[in-house]
Structure 1
Amino acid sequence: MLSRTVFFSALFLLLPLLSGASANVVDRSVAVVNDDTITLSEVNEFGQPLFKKVADEVPADRREAALQEARLAVIDKLIEKKLIVQEAKKFGLLVNDQEVETAFQRILANSKTTEEQFRKDIAAEGMSEKQYREGLREQILSSKLINHEVRTKVVIADSAVRDYYNTHYITVAEGGEYYLKQIGCIWGTATPSGATPSQEEAKQKIEKAHALATKGKDFKELAKEYSDLPSATEGGDLGHFQQDEMAPFIRDAVIHLKPGEVSPIVEHDNAYHFFKLVSHQQGQAVAQEPFDEVKEQIREKLYQQALEQRFKDWLTSIREKAYIKVL
């Protein structure tokens, strides 16, 4: 459940409340949401990071207006939070302490840190563990509500996946074009990571990537992980080439390949390379990736887009039905 709530935690700003509201401030209501109120202390606590950022970064002559705008934005997010909690209560949705503990331990495991270090980290942000856990409880509750009211109602049809694929993954190749992908490992010069590998290190790296590619591992992901070339950010995509447009060392490596095959490793200048021939067609539709390899990625992308839109529509509908007044 938590792995899919990251998107929503960012969307809702359901973050743990931060300490720091002044004890000398007389609390008062700043907004009414149905039968609940939002207090000044809630706004100060929830908005503390944003207010600090504005105070630190906005010039003095615009600071007051920027702070007022930030306060209104914080109040609006707190209104959303109140509405979500109210809706959850309508359906009898609750979060027990064990669910919070399980989520907390999962976060520790994913961040590869200890409880002690985690407490120090959040303390540095002005936050206690209790406050963090309460924020986590709200995230879990929101996720349950979203499962109940939004997520279960989103279905991505196979036809939508195919339409997206045909629009974004299909191109028409000119006569005799080769569509190539590449992975390259360099030595003797700095890589994008800042390291300067030796020739032996580059050779070991390319051989590992090549072995994985020949076993059918996703070439795009391998390129992003192993390639030191600029094309790595594009998943190794080199694009389409006529045979006479290719450098000789590339042409010799791919000329005898069949679509889908991976070339041997070749050495050129201070780098080892190998290539994947995605397609070699003449005036036909060319798939950048096989449909079966990307259909679930497409489905997930479309699902997230539909989920976000449905949530926005759902939240708009409950706002329209609610009594909301900013004081």
Structure 2
Amino acid sequence: MFTKSALHLSGLLLLAALTLWPASASAQVADTHAPDSARMEINGRLVPPIVATVNGRTIPGTMLVNQVQMYKMFHQQQGHSVSPEQEAEYARQALDNLIGQELLFQKSKEWGIAVDDKTVRAEAKKIRDQFPSEEMFQHTLRLQGLNAELLHASIEKQLVEESVVRAKIAPKVDVPEDTVKTFYEQNLEQFMQPPRWEFSHIFAAAVKQDAPEDPAMQERFHKLQNMVETDARAKINKALAALKTGKAFEDVAGEYSEHEETAKNGGKWGTMARHEMPDEIYQAVSKLKPGETSGIVRSEYGFHILRLDNALPEEAMPLDQVKSDLLNHLLKEEVEKEKDKLVAGLRDDADIEVFF
């Protein structure tokens, strides 16, 4: 929902994500922090030690490398490959973002906006604490062509950029209520909910488990499993018998159900779409009419008796339900637009040289 193409990824997130980047996938830029045997190319082009200068201040190639690596890692986690052309296009945009961040960092000094060293060190410690040892942390930094100085510099710039946004941009941004309503009406498909079923259950636990590989343990395992299964079946049968005598579903759930969270609430399990519930549960509740009760249903967790309380068709979420999230989304978009305008103005007056 509220999807928008955003190739710029937070520098802090990129650095923190070093903990997730496989060592075998690590690559370095050809600069003083990386050996010649570990140089990185983007779409066949070698990344130079310095990728740009902004009013005489340098942007190290290592920063661009980490932006590109995070981009690739994100897509790999989604199961998508990144073509050399996509990598090159992202690298271009990432370099533009790094230049923009440097421009904001330099301008922040004129505005008296700064982040104290204690805050920077605290953020660096959060990243460090993701590693099991100092040795592994330093090793990962080296694999990425980084060192403590570059790490701290990147954190400082990211925090300063956020401070600039809060102090100079966000207070000027406003999204009228009519704009929120118009966006909602023009993008109604983004707010559609699939069919959902509101239902209650009575539950007896009998989790299906795989038998141990050790043959000596298998006989004991099957005996215990059968005992659990027999006890659960007996309990769910008692619950079903109580329902057939006319006892209220809520009372039976409170007396017999082993799902404590729902039992104390009359068995109410909630409202779910098909993908949110076990298939056996869906197959049962989707065949019921509101107010009807199923027979005994076996899932991988145990035995259930289900009652359909309401069936909800596909429909759009009401505006009041999504207004807060939608407003925040539109405010962030407007803030980003204003930041881009500010950076564009700073570019016009800046001395920028690009080497990649």
Q: Could you state the TM-score of these two structures normalised by the residue count of structure 1?
A: 0.54
In the alignment, what sits opposite 2:9? Answer: 10
Paired with 1:121 and 1:276, the residues of 2 have a C-alpha distance of 57
CA gap of 1:131–1:266, structure 2 versus 1, over 3 A, is: farther
User: How far did residue 36 of structure 1 move?
Assistant: 2.1
What secondary structure sits across from 2:32 in the alignment? coil
Deviation, structure 1 residue 88 = 1.0
**Contact 1:213–1:219, Cα closer than 8 Å, also in 2:** no
Deviation at 1:137, TM superposition (A): 1.3
Post-superposition CA distance 1:186-219 (Å, at most 9, x none): 96599xxxxxxx987xx99994675799899995
How far apart are the structure 2 equivalents of 1:79 and 1:270? Answer: 56
5+ residue gaps, structure 2:
1-5, 19-27, 37-47, 71-82, 211-227, 237-255
Match of 1:79 in 2: 99
Displacement after TM superposition at 1:91 (Å)? 0.7
Cα deviation code 1:152-190 (max 9, x no counterpart):
222233333334444527999xxxxx9534689996599
- Aligned-pair distance for 1:79? 2.2
Computed over aligned residues only, the root mean square deviation of the Cα atoms, in angstroms, reads 5.7
Residue from 137, 149, 162 that aligns with 1:119 = 137
Q: Does 1:307 align with 2:326?
A: no
Q: TM-score, normalised by structure 2?
A: 0.50
- Structure 1 counterpart SS, 2:196: strand
Note if 1:227 corresponds to 2:242.
Answer: no
Q: Within 5 Å, give how 1:248-327 maps onto structure 2.
A: 249-250=285-286, 252=288, 254-256=289-291, 268=297, 270=299, 277=310, 279=312, 288-326=316-354
Alignment partners' CA distance in 2, 1:320 and 1:161: 33
Q: Does 1:145 align with 2:145?
A: no
Structure 1 CA distance for aligned equivalents of residues 312 and 88 of structure 2:
57
Q: Which ranges in structure 1 are unaligned for 5 or more consecutive residues? A: 1-6, 54-61, 173-177, 191-197, 232-237, 239-246, 257-262, 281-285
Equivalent residue letter for 1:119: F
**Distance in 2, Cα, partners of 1:50 & 1:216:** 47
Give the deviation of 1:135 after TM superposition. 1.7
Secondary structure (helix, strand or coil) at the match of 1:314 reads helix
Cα contact 1:119–1:128 (8 A) shared by 2: no
Letter in 1 for 2:63: F
2:32 counterpart residue number:
22
Cα separation, partners in 2 of 1:206 and 1:274, compared to 1, 3 Å = farther
Letter in 2 for 1:90: E
Is 9-18 or 118-127 further displaced after alignment?
9-18
- Give the residue type in structure 2 aligned to 1:149: K
- C-alpha distance in 1 between matches for 2:67 and 2:177: 42
Do structure 1's residue 47 and structure 2's residue 46 form an aligned pair? Answer: no
Inter-partner Cα distance in structure 1 for 2:348 and 2:170: 21
**Which residue of structure 2 lines up, in the alignment, with residue 283 of structure 1?**
none
SS of the equivalent of 1:21 reads coil
C-alpha contact 2:173 2:334 (8 A) present in aligned 1: yes
Alignment of 1:187-266 (within 5 A): 188=208, 207=259, 210=262, 227-228=277-278, 249-250=285-286, 252=288, 254-256=289-291
Inter-partner Cα distance in structure 2 for 1:313 and 1:255: 55
Over 3 Å counting, the alpha-carbon distance change for 1:305 and 1:294 in structure 2 is same
Q: What secondary structure, in the 3-state scheme, does the structure 1 residue paired with 2:165 have?
A: helix
Q: Distance in 2 between matches of 1:269 and 1:179?
A: 23
CA distance, structure 2, for counterparts of residue 171 and residue 77 of structure 1:
31
Q: Is the aligned partner of 1:180 residue 2:178?
A: no
Q: How far off is 1:293 after superposition?
A: 3.5
Aligned CA distance change for structure 1 residues 95 and 279 (closer, same or farther; 3 Å):
same
Aligned to 2:24: none
